[in-house]
């Protein structure tokens, strides 16, 4: 029985000939620096994303204090703050988009190069694992969704369409459109990654 098992196990092993060793060396040559670079780059972008939340909390706290000191400039400060908040959120989405682009390059371009070298063996299964989980879209749209709700609520409660604050609404509007565009770009790229990883054909 032991001799039969060893024979069967030996048959399943990849042939360690010159071609296999060459393919393995190329795969490692491509994977190792790319994995290091991708991890370092993604860490930078994730750090930026987390920093956005810290900056927003500090900024909103400062605005509340300024509004208590200078209530006569309430409208200008209020709508000006909306622009700043949207720019910060746009930066958050830009960082997220760059993270997904890094993953897409690794899963789409680099995987195809190495797959042809190592044969049918499956590797880098983390994205496939994530695609099988119940990924929820709200994680990507929550920031924009919250701001849009707050934006509409501010217009309604302050009757901004019927007084001079209409200027503030119009100033914020292009930034809101841009923020929504950034959100859609992130969601589309993420869904593309999930579909390709789920189908097993990145």
Q: pLDDT band at 83, cuts 50/70/90?
A: very high
Residues in the chain: 202
- In this predicted structure, what is the pLDDT of residue 139? 80
Q: What is the mean pLDDT of the chain?
A: 77
For tokens 């993953």, the residue is 103
Give the sign of the dihedral formed by CA 82, CA 94, CA 184, CA 132: negative
pLDDT at 190 over 90: no
Q: Is 27 left (phi over 0), alpha (psi -120 to 50) or beta?
A: alpha
Decide if 127 contacts 103 (C-beta within 8 A): yes
Give the sign of the dihedral formed by CA 99, CA 102, CA 105, CA 107: negative
SS3 assignment, position 14 = coil
Decide if 150 contacts 156 (C-beta within 8 A): no
**Among 33-37, 84-88, 152-156, where is mean pLDDT lowest?**
33-37
pTM: 0.71
Q: What is the DSSP letter of 106?
A: I
Contact partners, residue 190, CB within 8 Å, separation at least 6:
100, 135, 140
Residue 162 CB neighbours (<10 A): 9
Measure the CA–CA gap between 89 and 185, rounded to whole angstroms: 14
């Amino acid at each position: 029985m032991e001799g039969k098992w060893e024979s069967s196990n030996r048959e399943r092993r990849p042939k360690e000939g010159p071609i296999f060793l060459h393919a393995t060396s190329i795969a490692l040559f491509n994977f190792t620096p790319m994995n290091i670079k991708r991890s370092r780059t993604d860490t930078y972008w994730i750090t930026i994303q987390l920093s956005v939340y810290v900056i927003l909390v500090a900024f909103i706290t400062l605005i509340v204090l300024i509004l208590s000191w200078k209530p006569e400039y309430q409208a200008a400060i209020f709508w000006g703050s909306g622009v700043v908040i949207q720019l910060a959120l746009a930066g958050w989405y830009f960082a997220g988009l760059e993270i997904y682009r890094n993953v897409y390059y690794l899963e789409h371009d680099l995987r195809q190069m190495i797959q042809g070298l190592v044969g049918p063996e499956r590797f880098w299964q983390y994205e496939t694992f994530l695609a099988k989980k119940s990924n929820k879209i709200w994680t990507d749209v929550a920031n924009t969704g919250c701001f849009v709700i707050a934006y509409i609520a501010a217009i309604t409660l302050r009757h901004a369409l019927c007084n001079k604050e209409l200027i503030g609404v119009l100033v914020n509007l292009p930034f809101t459109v841009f923020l929504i565009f950034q959100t859609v770009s992130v969601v589309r790229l993420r869904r593309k990654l999930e579909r390709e990883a789920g189908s097993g054909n990145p």
